[in-house]
Amino acid sequence: MSVSDPPPAQASAVCATHVPTLLRYADGSLVLSQRLAACCGHGPALEEDIALANIALDLLGQARLLFAHAGALEDQGRDEDALAFWRVESEFHNPVLCELPNGDFAQTCLRAFFYVAWQAELWAGLTHSVDRTLAAVAQKSAKETRYHCEHLAAWVVRLGDGTPESQRRQQRALDYLYPYANELFCDDDTDRAAAAAQLGPLPSTLEAAWRARIARVIGEATLALPAPVPFYSTGRQGRHSECFSYVLAEMQALARAHPGATW
């Protein structure tokens, strides 16, 4: 965010994976925000249109704060716009879950619910980060994330415990999306280094609380939780699904067509 003037005294990175860790968090927020923003004007009702756009905006706010922080720590002259618009597909490290197609409304809601429910656990874990700016972003975001969780979970329950058609669709979305959640809890070297430096929680430590929350909501929605499968998507390592390049192309086209343009 280009609003700090003069810039606050910069802390230095606590470990080699500090910036990559921030980018993983930021990329997840940005990509899901972009996906949800595409629903604007297409919501099933005006209120829902507004709600999804609001959630997208909050996610964008998280991404901007995290990008600005990562860019300052990295100290290579990349600001939030450079990080969002001038990296290529393999340089993005969001979980694949965030980039999956919107599908129908049931899929849109459940995909977002999976991610914001994960964020709720993440923010709680980040409150104790040695990176005090990251902790502040987490503390701020946690309050907004509670509204997202509540709203999206309510839709999953309403559709699941709804008409035969809405239930069929919500179950279909659940069967499709559930395997992609595995990636959210899969520790790699970057995660282990970040956890050792007390930067952020190990993803695997967030799993139990997340699965408990999901099971509660899925139960209330009278849906059947799919059996676990040993499938791990790899967006956090920069290897994405086929649909991701289309998301990026749409998001980046304007900035790339007019480099350096300002409002």
Under the binding rule (CB under 8 A), the answer on residue 133 touching another protein is: yes
Provide, rounded to whole angstroms, the least separation between the CB of residue 100 and another protein.
22
Judged by CB under 8 A, the residue of 121, 131, 144, 183 near another protein is 144
Instruction: Report the residue number, 5 or 189, with the smaller CB distance to another protein.
Output: 5
Using the rule CB under 8 A, is 108 a contact of another protein?
Answer: no
Sequence-distant (6+) residues with CB within 8 A of 5 are none
**SS3 of residue 115 by DSSP:** helix
CB of 60 to another protein, least distance (A): 5
Site for another protein (CB under 8 A): which residue of 75, 150, 175, 188? 150
Q: Which two tokens mark 66? A: 């995290």
Q: Which of 91, 117, 90 is nearest to 32 (CA)?
A: 117
Cβ neighbours of 253 (radius 10 Å): 11
User: What's the chain's Rg over C-alpha atoms?
Assistant: 18
- The answer to whether the CB of 200 falls within 8 A of the CB of 151 is no
Q: Helix, strand or coil for residue 45?
A: coil
Q: Which is nearer to another protein, 69 or 236 (CB)?
A: 69
- Judged by CB under 8 A, the residue of 22, 23, 32, 60 near another protein is 60
Q: Which helix (H) or strand (E) holds 258?
A: none
Please count the residues of this chain forming the interface with another protein, following the rule CB under 8 A. Answer: 35
How far is it, in rounded angstroms, from Cα 183 to Cα 206?
A: 12
* Smallest separation, CB 121 to another protein (Å): 16
Residue 140 C-beta: closest distance to another protein, Å: 4
The encoded tokens of residue 29 equal 């927020």
Among 76, 143, 242, 262, binds another protein (CB under 8 A): 143
For another protein, the binding residue among 44, 79, 128, 146 (CB under 8 A) is 146
Angle at 138 between CA 2 and CA 9, to 5 degrees: 45
Q: State both tokens at 39.
A: 């629903």
Distance CA 61, CA 253 (A): 21
28-57 residues near another protein, rule: CB under 8 A:
47-48, 50-51, 53-55, 57
Q: Measured from the CB of residue 37, what is the shortest distance to another protein in angstroms? A: 11
CB of residue 44 to another protein, shortest distance in Å: 12
List residues binding another protein (CB under 8 A): 1, 3-6, 8, 47-48, 50-51, 53-55, 57-62, 64-65, 132-133, 135-137, 139-141, 143-144, 146-147, 150-151
